[in-house]
Amino acid sequence: QSALTQPPSASGSPGQSVTISCTGSNSDVGGYNFVSWYQHHPGKAPKVIIYEVSKRPSGVPDRFSGAKSGNTASLTVSGLQAEDEADYYCSSYAGTNNLDLVFGGGTKLTVL
């Protein structure tokens, strides 16, 4: 399966909102509501911030929100804060008997 497509970089000033896209196909993002997003600060373990397209795990600020339209999922970070600067990865179920999963290439979010 091919990796999901994310922009390599995104940026915004503190307090602004930024949206990161994640484009797949009918076989993954578009076919299932099992899209998740991970925040990865260098040197730390990745952390899930969105699952099932738009659900937030306990403890994740509501500044993070997810959505999906067709074959493209998106992550919006509102009210940007310095600590939001990190790499963000989307992931989706890829719909085979092998429990296939696929990740996006990652987006480096810079808080200006």
Partner 1 sequence: EVQLVQSGAEVKKPGESLRISCKASGHTLNNYWIGWVRQMPGKGLEWIGLIYLRDSDTRYSPPFQGQVTISADESINTAYLQWSSLKASDTAMYYCARLEVVTGIPNYFDPWGQGSLVTVSS
Binding marks (x or -) toward partner 1, 32..51, rule CB under 8 A?
A: x-x-x-x-x---xxxxx--x
Residue 112 interacts with partner 1 (CB under 8 A): yes or no: no
With CB under 8 A as the contact rule, the residue among 64, 77, 93, 109 that binds partner 1 is 93
Nearest of 108, 65, 107 to residue 90 by alpha carbon: 107
Per rule CB under 8 A, is residue 82 in the interface with partner 1?
Answer: no
One residue of 15, 57, 61, 70 binding partner 1 per CB under 8 A: 57
CA dist 36 and 85 (Å) reads 18
* Least distance CB 103 / partner 1 (angstroms): 5
DSSP code per residue over 44-94: S--EEEEBTTTB--TT--TTEEEEEETTEEEEEE-S--GGG-EEEEEEEE-
Question: Rule CB under 8 A: is residue 24 a binding residue for partner 1?
Answer: no
Assess 98 for contact with partner 1 (CB under 8 A).
Answer: yes
Q: Which of 25, 27, 74, 91 binds partner 1 (CB under 8 A)?
A: 91
Residue 51: CB atoms within 10 Å: 18
Say whether 37 sits in a helix, a strand or coil. Answer: strand
